[in-house]
Structure 1
Amino acid sequence: MEVGILAYGGYIPQSRLQRSEIAKAHMWFNPGLKGLAKGERAMANWDEDSVTMAVEAARDCLGDYDRSALSAVYMASTTFPFMDRQNAGIVAEALNLNAGLQTLDFTSSQRAGSSGLAVALQVAKGGGAPILFTAAEKRQTKAASPLEFTSGDGAAAFLVGEGKVIARLIGSHTEAVDFVDHFRGEGQSYDYSWEERWIRDEGYMKIVPAAISALLEKTGVDPATITTFCFPVAAKRVAAGIAKKMGLPDSSVADNLQDNCGETGTAHSMVMLSHALEHSKPGDKILVASFGQGSDTLLFEVTEEIKSLSPRKGISGYLARRYAETNYNKFLAFHDLINLERGIRAETDKKTGLTTLYRNKNMSQRMLGGKCSKCGTAQFPKSNMCVNENCGAVHTQEDYPFADRIARVNSFTADRLTYSPDPPAYYGMVQFEEGGRLMSDFTDIAPDSDLEVGMLMRMVFRVKDYDNKRGFRRYFWKATPVDASKKGE
C-alpha cells in the first residue's frame, strides 16, 4: 500500500497587523525599515500559542475522521509553551483522543516541521494506524527587527498513513549541515541572526539545491515535471533562484504568503504544503524543501482521492477570516514585548492546582460534558444528577463531547471592570444546539464586531490564565463567532 497524506488542515489567527504600523513606530530609529512596510503579518491573540494553534489546525485536518483510529500525535515548534511537559500530549487531550497512542515533540530547528513530517511518514510505512502531525509557531521577535516584519503566527496539520492517500510520498532526502544562519541560546528570548547575503549565497543557494538534487536523483523524477515548489523563505527571489538553478519550472514556485501572513517559522514549509494541496489536482507533483542546519526535501504526487476529500477551511479559509489590526501597541502587549502596567485587578495569583487540573481534565481540556442515558438531556459540566427538572435521574450521565458542537448566544456582556489582556472582557451564556448551556468567555471579538443574541458560536481551545510566577499556563475552551467577517479592511 502507498504511504502519504490522507488529509490536511491549517490555521492562521484572525488579526493581521499592518506592517506600515510597525514601520511608523520605528522609522525614527531606522528609516530603512520602510522597505518592509508593505502588507500584513498574522498576529496571534493574547490567548493563543503554538499549542492552541496546533489544535485548530488539527481540527481542520481531522474533520469527521474517526479519531479513535489514530496511533500517534506529533507536534513541531521552536516556540513550545512548555520546555518540560509534552506539548503534543496537550494537543491530544484537546482533541479528545484515546490515551493509548504515542505523542512526540520535534524542536530546535527551523526544519523541525519538515523533519517531523518525514519521521511520521517513515513510521507510517510500518502499516500501523494513521498519525496526526502538527506544526505551529508563535515567534518572539525584537522590536524594530526585520524578523518582526517578516514573521507571522500560524499552524498546519496532516493526517499521514497508508491507504487512500490524497498525496503519495514519492521520496524524501535530508542534508544535515550545521550551518548557523541564526540561533537562540538557552535562556534567550530572541533569535540572533547573521548577515543576510552570506545566508543566501552559502546557505540557501548551496545546501538546498544539494538536497533537491539528491532527492530527484534518488526518485528519478524530471525537475521539469514539478508542479509546485514550496520553500519557506521571506527573502525575495531566493525560491525562484533555487528553482532556476535546479531546472524547476518558473510557474512551480509557490506563494510564500509573505504579503498576507508572514513566515511562520518551523511551521511554514508545512503551511505552504497545506496551502498547495488546497489548489492541487491529480497528477500534480509537489516538492517541499526546508532550511535550518541543513535541508529536508519531500516529494509528493497528488492522487485521485483529492477529489473526494471533504471540504475544510484550510489556510485559504483562515486567510480570508481576517481583521486588519492597526494598533502596534496591542501586538507588543500580546507578545509580552513590553512591561505593561496592567492594574491591581491583574495581580491575582494565577497558581493552578495541578491535582485539581488532573481530576477535571476531561472537562477543562477535552470539554466532555454529560448526557443522561434516561432522558437524553445534555449538560455541561457533567454531574451525578440530570439537570432536567422532569428527570433528575442519578448516575445516568454518559460522556458527551461539546468541543465540536455549535452554540448560539443567549446573553453577553462587555466588561471593562474585570481584568482582561484585551479589554473589554466579553463573556456570556451560550446554548448548544443539541442541548446544554455554558457561561463562557468569548474570544476573537473584533473591536467593531456586532455581537447579538442568537449569533452562531463555535468553541476554540485557548489559554485561560497565565501563571507568570511559575511559568505555567492553563487552557480552557472559549466561544467565538462562527462566521468572522472581514471588518477593518
Structure 2
Amino acid sequence: MKGLASIYGYGAYIPIYRIETKEIARVHTKGGEKAPVKTKSLPGPDEDSLTIAYEAAKNALKRAGIDPSLIEALYIGSESPPYAVKPSATVIAEALGFSRKLYGIDMEFACKAGTTAVISVAALVSAGVIKYGVGIGTDTAQGRPGDELEYTAAAGAAAYVLGPLSRDSVATIEHVYSYVTDTPDFWRREGEKFPMHTFRFTGDPAYFHHIESAARGLMEETGLKPSDFNYVVFHQPNVKFPQRMAQMLGFTEEQLRLGLLSGEIGNTYAAASLIGLANVLDHAKPGERILVVSFGSGAGSDALSIVVEEGIEARRKLAPKVSHYLSRKKLVDYAYYLKYRRYIHGVT
C-alpha cells in the first residue's frame, strides 16, 4: 500500500449564523441578490477561530475512534487566530486531552494554511516521527465594511486525524505537490484590522496560475489525468473561480459539485478546501479518488491526491456531516453582523 499517511477521522464545523449577500448590498451597494454567493457564515458572539477549530477536531476524533492521548502532533492553519501572541494549538490540545509530548504549532499561509497543516502532519506520520496527529484549517475571515471581501469572508473549520497507512481508514493521502511564488495579491500588515487586496489581480495571475500549476504538477508526477478522479475540490473564494478552474483543467461540473460550498457559506479561507473535502467524504465510496487543490495569497497552492478506503462507510456516521451544518442556520441583519464581528467599537 503506497501513500504518505491515512486519514482516520475528519470533521467540519460551520457556525449557525448567516448573513445574506443582499443584506450587505442593501447597506453598501445594489445588486447583491444577483451574486452567486447567496449567504455567508459568521461566528457567533462567543466564537472565534480557536473555538470552531475545537468543534471540528472533536468531530474528527469521534470518527477516528482513537484515544486522544495518542495524538502527538497538532498543526493549525489560520490567518485569524484570537491571539497575536499565544498559540491556539496548546488550548485545543489541552481541551481534547492530547499527549503532552506534542508537536504543536499555529501556521499561516493565507487560505492554504489548512492543507499545509494536513500535509505537514502527514509527513511526520510518514517519517515515523509520530503515529497519530491532527491537521486543522480554521478561520473567521475579515472583510472591511463596504469592501468586496465583505460579501464572501466567512467562518468555518475542518480537522483531519492522520495516522499510518491502513485499509480500515477513511482515506489515504497518496501524493502531494506544492507550488509557490512571490505574488503579493493580498496582505495585512501588523496592527491593521482588515486585509488589503489587489482586486482582480487576485484571480489572474494569483489564483488561477497557482492552482493550475499545483494540479498539473501532481498529475505529471503521478501519471493521473482529470478522468482518473471522481471528485475535485478547489479553494473557493467565490463560485465562479472554481468553476472556471475546473474548465481550464478538464474537470466536469459533476466532479466539482459536492466540493463547492462557497455559494452557501462564503469563503472560509484556510478551511475552505478542507470543508469541501469533508463534504465529498460524506458521500464518496471506497476506491474513489479525490483531487484537492488549495490556494493561499502571497501566493501558493497545495495539491493532494486522496483515495477513499474501506473504513469510510462505518466511520462517517459517527459525527455530524457537513450537510447538518449547512441546514442549520439563523439569519441576522447587518447590525447584528457588525456586532457579532465586533466591528462596532465599544460593543462586546
User: Scaled by the length of structure 1, what TM-score is found?
Assistant: 0.66
CA distance in 1, matches of 2:204, 2:83: 35
1:232 Cα offset (Å): 1.7
Alignment-derived partner of residue 321 in structure 1: 328
**Other structure's SS at 1:189 match:** coil
CA contact (8 A) 1:287 1:299 kept: yes
Please name the residue that 2:287 is paired with: 283
Mapped to 2, the partners of 1:235 and 1:310 lie a distance apart of 27
Which of residues 295, 300, 311 in structure 1 aligns to 2:306?
A: 300
In the alignment, the residues of structure 1 paired with residue 15 and residue 87 of structure 2 have an alpha-carbon distance, to the nearest angstrom, of 23
| RMSD of aligned Cα (Å) | 1.8
**Who is 1:14 aligned against?**
16
Specify the alignment match of 2:173 in structure 1.
169
User: What are structure 2's unaligned runs of at least 5 residues?
Assistant: none
User: Counterpart of 1:115 in 2: which secondary structure?
Assistant: helix
* Structure 1 residue 109 displacement after superposition: 2.3
Which among 182, 190, 195 is matched to residue 191 of structure 1? 195
8 A contact 2:21–2:32 mirrored in 1: no
CA distance in 1, matches of 2:27, 2:245: 35
Query: For residues 4 and 272 of structure 1, what CA distance do their matches in structure 2 show?
Result: 18
Alpha-carbon distance change, 244 to 34 in structure 1, aligned in 2, over 3 angstroms:
closer
SS of equivalent residue, structure 2 residue 51:
helix
Task: State whether residues 20 and 38 of structure 1, in contact with CA within 8 Å, keep that contact through their aligned partners in structure 2.
Answer: no
For 2:169, the aligned partner's letter is V
Give matches, 1:333-372, under 5 Å: 333-340=339-346, 342=347
SS at match of 1:122: helix
Relative distance call for 1:36 and 1:246 in structure 2 (3 A) is closer
1:248-267 mapped onto 2 (5 Å cutoff): 248-254=251-257, 255-267=259-271
- What percent of counterpart residues are identical? 28
Alignment-derived partner of residue 36 in structure 1: 35
Gaps of 5+ in 1: 343-420, 422-489
Deviation at 1:271, TM superposition (A): 1.2
**Corresponding residue number in structure 2 for 1:124:** 125
Residue in 1 aligned with 2:157? 155
Amino acid at match of 1:324: L
How many angstroms apart in 1 are the aligned matches of 2:36 and 2:174?
40
Deviation at 1:34, TM superposition (A): 5.3
1:456 maps to which residue? none
Aligned position for 2:278: 274
2: CA distance, partners of 1:316 / 1:10: 10
Q: Does 1:59 align with 2:61?
A: no
Shift of 1:217: 1.2
- Secondary structure at the aligned position of 2:263 is classed as coil
Deviation at 1:188, TM superposition (A): 1.1
> In the TM superposition, what whole-angstrom CA distance separates every residue of 1:30-70 from its partner, at most 9, and x where no partner exists?
x3555438621111111100000000001111115311211
Q: Which has the higher mean CA deviation after the structures are superposed, 12-21 or 32-41?
A: 32-41
CA apart distance, 1:240? 2.6
The aligned counterpart of 1:393 is none
**Which stretches of structure 1, 4 residues or longer, exceed 6 Å deviation after superposition?**
none
Single out whichever of 226-235 and 39-48 deviates more from structure 2: 226-235
Q: Take 2:32 and 2:331, find their aligned partners in 1: how far apart are those partners?
A: 20
1:230 is matched by which residue type in structure 2?
V
Q: Is the CA contact (8 Å cut-off) linking 1:234 and 1:256 kept in structure 2?
A: no
Cα distance in structure 2, aligned partners of 1:333 and 1:273: 31
Q: Is the 8 A contact 1:74 1:116 kept in 2?
A: yes
8 A contact 2:37–2:264 mirrored in 1: no
Which is richer in helix? 2
Report how many aligned residue pairs link the two structures: 337
Question: Deviations along 1:169-213, whole A, 9 cap, x unmatched?
Answer: 1201011111122111111111111131x3323223322211111
**1:117 shift after superposition:** 1.0
Distance 1:194 1:81 in 2: 26
Which of 42-51 and 93-102 deviates more? Answer: 93-102
Q: Distance in 2 between matches of 1:134 and 1:235?
A: 21
Q: Does structure 1 retain, via aligned residues, the 8 Å contact 2:19–2:40?
A: yes
Where do residues 392-471 of structure 1 align in structure 2 (5 Å cutoff)?
Answer: 421=348
**Paired residue for 2:217?**
214
Contact 1:37 1:149 in 2 (8 A): no
Q: Distance in 2 between matches of 1:333 and 1:177?
A: 37
Change (3 A) 1:36 1:240: closer
- Could you list the per-position Cα deviations for residues 11-39 of structure 1 after superposition, in whole angstroms to 9, with x for gaps in the alignment? 00111112222111223xxx355543862
Aligned counterpart, 2:206: 203
Q: Quick one: distance in 1 between partners of 2:113 and 2:311? A: 28
Letter in 1 for 2:115: S
- Are the equivalent residues in 2 in contact too, given 1:60–1:314 (CA < 8 A)? no
Query: How much does 1:223 deviate?
Result: 1.9
TM-score, normalised to structure 2, is 0.91
Whichever residue aligns with residue 194 of structure 1, its letter is T
| Cα separation, 1, equivalents of 2:107 and 2:304 | 17
Task: State the Cα distance separating 1:100 from its structure 2 match.
Answer: 2.2
Tell me, in whole angstroms, the C-alpha distance in 2 between the residues paired with 1:324 and 1:291: 29
* Higher RCO, Cα 8 Å, sep 6+: 2
Distance 2:185 2:32 in 1: 21
Q: Does structure 1 retain, via aligned residues, the 8 Å contact 2:75–2:135?
A: yes
The residue that corresponds to 1:106 in the other structure is: 107
